[in-house]
Amino acid sequence: MKRTFGRELVLRLLFEIEVGEQDPQTCMSYFFETTPVEKDLKEFITTRVSGTLEHLEKIDEIIKKYSKDWDIDRLAYVDKAILRMSLFEMNYVDEVPDVVTINEAVELAKKYSDISSGKFINGVLGKYYNTEKNQDKDTVSE
């Protein structure tokens, strides 16, 4: 539950940074000044926001490749933030199984985006997982 809440906060920050065209450090500093969180949750959030932004170019290339017929600039900001955060976690965070990341992303999309976003997010992440991350294991349904 704590990680689910942490992902919601990461989503919020990534959304604020992009939509408000905010400086990431300024945005995170203000966030932590105004939103009290425990030390381990702060580390969780900081790692994911900073890591996502650090690897944004590679992450966006994955999104472009697996979101067929959708230009990344046309994606809803919320969906884009969920995909970015999830792909960062799938590629750079070893302690979380990819299927957990995908499930959490779908739930975030259902909660914060429109009715079709959960299916879209699951499709993009599922295709990526099945194609590049899990070639010798069972597949995730898309």
> What is the spatial distance between Cα 95 and Cα 69, in angstroms, rounded to a whole number?
32
> What is the spatial distance between Cα 93 and Cα 79, in angstroms, rounded to a whole number?
20
Question: Under a CB-based contact definition with an 8 Å cutoff, are residues 69 and 87 in contact?
Answer: no
Which CATH topology does 2-133 take? N-utilizing Substance Protein B Homolog; Chain A (1.10.940)
Kindly state the tokens that stand for 5. Answer: 């809440």
pLDDT in tens, the chain (142 residues): 588 899 999 999 999 999 988 899 999 999 999 998 999 999 999 999 999 999 999 999 999 999 877 778 788 899 999 999 999 999 999 889 999 999 999 999 999 998 889 999 999 999 999 998 776 444 444 4
Task: Compute how many other C-beta atoms are within 10 angstroms of the C-beta atom of residue 54.
Answer: 13
Helix, strand, coil percentages for the chain (3-state, nearest 5): 75, 0, 25
> What is the spatial distance between Cα 83 and Cα 5, in angstroms, rounded to a whole number?
17
Kindly state the tokens that stand for 93. Answer: 């965070």
